[in-house]
Chain A
Amino acid sequence: MGSYTIPAVQDMSIRLTKAMRLGIVGESGSGKTTLALAIMGLLEKRASVNGSIRFAGTDLQQLSEKQRNPYRWSRIALVFQNSLDVLNPVLTVHEQIWECLVRHTTLARADAHETVVSLLESVGMAAEHGPYYPHQLSGGMRQRVLLAMALSCDPEVLILDEPTNALDAVTKTDIINRIARIQQEKQFGLIVISHELQTIARLTSRISVMYRGRIVEEGPTGTMLSLPLHPYTRGLVHASPDINPWRDMWGIPEESETSEFSESSEFSGNGGCPFVSRCCQKTDICQTRVPSLEPAAPERRVACNRGGIVTLLQGTGIHKHFGVNGTSVRACQDCCIRVRSGEAAVLIGESGSGKTTLANILSGILNPDRGDIRFNGEPVVRSRASRRKKGMQIIFQDPYSAINANLGVEQAIREPLDILGQDLPEHKTASVIRALQQVGLPVDDHFRRRKCHTLSGGQRQRIAIARALVMDPAILIADEISAMLDPSTQANILRLLKGLQNHHGFAMLYITHDLAVAQKIADWVYVMNHGKIVEQGDARQIFTNPAHPYTRKLVGQHFPEITRKTGDIPSSCVKNKPYVITRNPALAKAA
């Protein structure tokens, strides 16, 4: 086998000040552990480390192994990723920690025994556990032992590598709480490496997100998790049920097999943005240019050629009124709305609040009295944004009206392509077949020739979705598309849409009066009442801690149990009442 090098960490800079709590997140294989080992100087000989690692002004890279030793453990300690072989199998727990103390501190051998006991207690273990051998301990206990060892020398920087990996919720919360408390007491610098966002959210104040050995985004923990700026960060947040427990989980789509960029070219560093093959907003420049970390918002930096997640659709100051019998009905008043690339924004409000009017204005079907609508920065005038591929598509509420019942299935789906007149007939048919497959309908000739009036409402709604999909939209406006469907069909269509969105990365503005549905799919929520957008925010915040009285009323009516709680971290609710599913009041009472 030929030898080759893989850059596990590239061009990475982090800064840790005293008592700062930094989180490093990323999928497995993103180089998190390599970074930790490099800081500790523990990488094997065949790995080469370039750059400088400065600790209180000293460049650790310039030191010899011997000079470096005092820094390890006593000043920078690392809690290894939990596994059986991290601990010495022939030493007991007590002996391991004791050895660590004796070797790295000036403690007398006898005094060290007492310190071991107090260390064990501080991480939640009893002194009786001292004589145990590592293989006799559970995973949670081993994690505590590792933590005690790292804390033994009272380090100035503590690096935790996956501290809560594979632990149950109770142990996890206990360990997290202990680490947080000890950090508070001792004020050491903390680097938490994890792919568990819940752990990161509890332990850190800043986050760096790593992908393929590079930092793609960094910023304060709170805003990073509620409004990620890099598609990768957002993907991580969306894949974590701890952040928003109601939303369906969707992982970041895997790299497409058709990617022109082979592994080697990506690793050699000239293949453009490392995230390009999984990104939903890539452009030509992303194939060739490696983005650098640039400031994007206060205290936030993001490495993206497009400056982070772009705003696809922006409506500002939209006004619309209708004259009815001499009186004027103000359907939209100063509405501002923004949909970012790859995002599922949900517009909720009761019927008659002006949702559909706003949707029609945004999609260019209706002209606003006043206001500015921009799609990708260009003003939306009539069909300008919707009559092209990669544009904006709207799906209507009523499938019986949205599809001409006298058309055949293929004819109905192909209509936009026919109007566009760009593709060859066989390409059109291929697009139609692809769209039919995507929405889960038959693709045979017989079905494609069937008249739409022979189909059910759910099938017609799928046809309407397929018709939007053949245009390969960048944003989809879905106006109450499931309101007229039975619950099962509604569930199928919603999952279908979310799945398609996750796979193709288009943005979606979903308009509904159904809060339960909104909870399932929303990343960002707009609340509309009497033609005004009264509140907007990240979905978890709107549903747990609504600010506007109307939102509170709306959420309170739908989910009485949510507004009663004051805490805003749902995971803590889960911890306190692990067996009570409070969504159903009857069940809650029974429990």
Chain B
Amino acid sequence: MNAARISLAIILLVTAAGIFSQWVAVHPHNLPSGNALEAPSPNHWLGTDDLGIDLWAQICHGAGVSVLVGVSAALLAGIGGSLIGMLAGYLGGIADRITMRMTDMMIILPDLPTMIVLGAFFGPGLINIILVLALFSWTGTARIIRSRILSMKQEQYIAAAQSYGAGFVHLAKTHFIPGVLPIALASIIRLTGRAIVAEASLSFLGLGDPTSKSWGLILNHAINFKGIYFMDCWKWWIMSPLVAILILVGAFAILARENETSAVSAFQK
């Protein structure tokens, strides 16, 4: 439980840093505020990049982008996947088979290469990134939710409600959504972590939104700086976005695991 609290605190801190980046960092994230490639110092906590822009300010600003992309892609995929899973489980038959074959297809497609293709195809842009990420993440949620709905459909309270003439809307509102909420939540949290990594990967490969200044883009920029490994500057320029990603994704992973454990024990009660 403590691990969950700590990771939640970390996530909230990072989010807050992203939202209030102008106040958290004294220097601007888009203007040079010192010499190029300065080492970390009391003035520039994480040093500066090749243009002399403060890295702490960039990390804080990028946090907002990463969290935004991660959360919205996960919410989109989680809610959409839940809805599709619910409908597939509820309707059964041909609708169920079509959706399940679709999820099979999505699962055998290798994520990253396809995302690279799609990212390149739709062009850079935050919204496109979110959509592409959501498109590749809904399948797992849909499958889990579907299986839960299938087992709920065996319960007689569903048969009873249907005998009163209940349609999908009522069943979803009263029975399905409250019933699947814990697992939907767990998979949304897990998806958030994955989405952040995926966004960073795409940006790192140069397929992200070039104006977004996300953590992946900082990495991409740093790696593309000729001769970065000839100097010491990689220690802060590459390491700081990397560690930031690690901390945030790690926090999400721990939160997801803790949440799943508590959801499972709630089911067993």
Contacts and interface: CB of A to CB of B under 8 A. Distances in A.
Interface of A: 360, 363-365, 383, 386-387, 393-394, 396, 398, 401-404, 406-407, 411, 415-416, 418-420, 453, 464, 467, 471
A406 B165 CA distance: 21
A396 B174 contact: no
Interface string B160-180: 111111100010001100110
Nearest to A385: B163
Contacts, number: 59
A387 B155 contact: no
The B contact surface, by secondary structure, is helix
B160 A420 contact: no
Given A394-B160, A396-B160, A404 B155 contact: yes
Interface of B: 155-157, 159-166, 170, 174-175, 178-179, 269
Given A415-B174, A418-B170, A402 B164 contact: no
A77 to B, nearest CB: 61
Contact of A406 (B162, B170, B178): B178
A398 B157 CA distance: 10
A301 to B, nearest CB: 39
A363 to B, nearest CB: 6
A346 B162 CA distance: 25
B178 A416 contact: no
A415 B178 CA distance: 15
A420 B157 contact: no
Contact of A415 (B155, B156, B161, B179): B161
Contacts of B269: 453
A280 B163 CA distance: 24
B150 to A, nearest CB: 15
B156 A401 contact: yes
A403 B159 CA distance: 10
A478 to B, nearest CB: 13
Chain A CB within 10 A, most for which of B157, B170, B174, B178 = B157
B161 A419 contact: yes
Given A396-B156, A401-B155, A404-B175, A365 B163 contact: yes
22 contacts: A365-B159, A365-B162, A383-B164, A386-B164, A386-B165, A396-B156, A396-B160, A401-B157, A402-B156, A402-B160, A404-B174, A404-B179, A415-B160, A415-B161, A415-B166, A415-B174, A416-B161, A419-B166, A419-B170, A453-B269, A464-B160, A471-B164
Given A360-B159, A402-B156, 12 more contacts: A364-B163, A365-B163, A383-B163, A386-B165, A393-B163, A401-B156, A404-B155, A406-B179, A411-B174, A415-B161, A416-B164, A467-B160
Contacts of A420: 164-165
B157 A403 contact: yes
Nearest to A407: B174
Contacts of A402: 156-157, 160
Contacts of B178: 406
A322 to B, nearest CB: 15
Contact of B164 (A387, A396, A453): A387
A324 B160 CA distance: 25
A481 B13 CA distance: 55
A-B pairs with lowest CB-CB distance, top 8? A387-B165, A416-B164, A386-B163, A396-B156, A402-B156, A401-B156, A419-B164, A404-B157
Given A406-B178, A419-B170, A383 B156 contact: no
Contacts of B179: 404, 406
A503 B157 CA distance: 27
B184 to A, nearest CB: 15
From A398, A401, A467, name the one whose CB has the most chain B CB atoms within 10 angstroms. Answer: A401
A8 to B, nearest CB: 48
A383 B157 contact: no
B169 to A, nearest CB: 10
A385 to B, nearest CB: 9
